[in-house]
Amino acid sequence: MELESMNILLIEDDAETAAYVTSGFHEEGHSVRHAANGSDGFLAALDDDYDILIVDRMIPKLDGLSLVKALRDAGNRTPVIFLSALTAIRDRVDGLQGGGDDYLSKPFAFAELSARVQALARRPALATEETELRTSDLIVDLLIQKVTRAGTEIRLQPREYRLLCYLMRNADRVVTRTMLLESVWDINFDPRTNVVETQISRLRDKVDKPFDRPLIHTVRGSGYRIHG
């Protein structure tokens, strides 16, 4: 299925990359506006309606991640693809959690960038931003990072909070030790430590033990699952 012509904002400080991307989308019949720094890009994003924003992470005046967070805070929900030489798992996770919809590492092929842009353009717009996670009577307010269960506030350390959010975003699914190491600790190999087990135990002490029934369950031989 061919898409109609799109209005694209490219925020990229590297002139060669900008020319390459702009030329490619022009050949496909799309309109591209280019901003060479984060400040100009932020103002441009607010100045017009775009179908897609393509944002480099490392740009002057206002870095790409801060730019997208500021746009989201301002109520701008235009789909964003981060285009970046920052390729570590933590960088990609930060980009997606910071408001990005997709993340493509440099160097890249234009064909893949174009395919990702088209996939985002076909995706239906979200009606509301996710502000809360809920499993049974356990609630995480993502805006103020407050955790409560049955109306009682639970104070978590930053790593415990990230672990709980990951479990709740995958509620009723089994998440493996490897998945947790990659997503919560940014470790893409098995360090042969009990760090996951230790943090799960600490989380249970706060989230489960003071209450009448557990929500975090061990799935023997597989991993963990949170469900009400």
| Domains and their CATH numbers in the chain | 7-122 (3.40.50.2300), 132-226 (1.10.10.10)
pLDDT in the model for residue 152: 96
Question: Which 8-state DSSP code applies to residue 224?
Answer: E
- Model pTM? 0.55
| Cα separation, 82 vs 92, whole angstroms | 9
Residue entry with tokens 């103020």: 144
Per-residue pLDDT of the chain (228 residues), as tens digits, is: 445 789 999 999 999 999 999 999 999 899 999 999 999 999 999 888 899 999 999 999 999 999 999 888 888 889 999 998 888 888 888 888 888 999 999 988 999 999 999 888 877 654 455 689 999 999 999 989 999 999 999 999 999 999 999 999 999 999 999 899 988 998 877 778 899 999 999 999 999 999 999 999 999 989 999 998
Both tokens of 19, joined, read 């020319």
* String of DSSP letters for 10-29: EE-S-HHHHHHHHHHHHHTT
pLDDT in the model for residue 96: 87
Taking residue 56's Cβ as centre, other Cβ atoms within 10 Å add up to 25
pLDDT in the model for residue 127: 44
Crossing angle (nearest 10°) for helices 158-169 and 177-184:
120
Check: CB of residue 79 under 8 Å from CB of residue 123.
yes
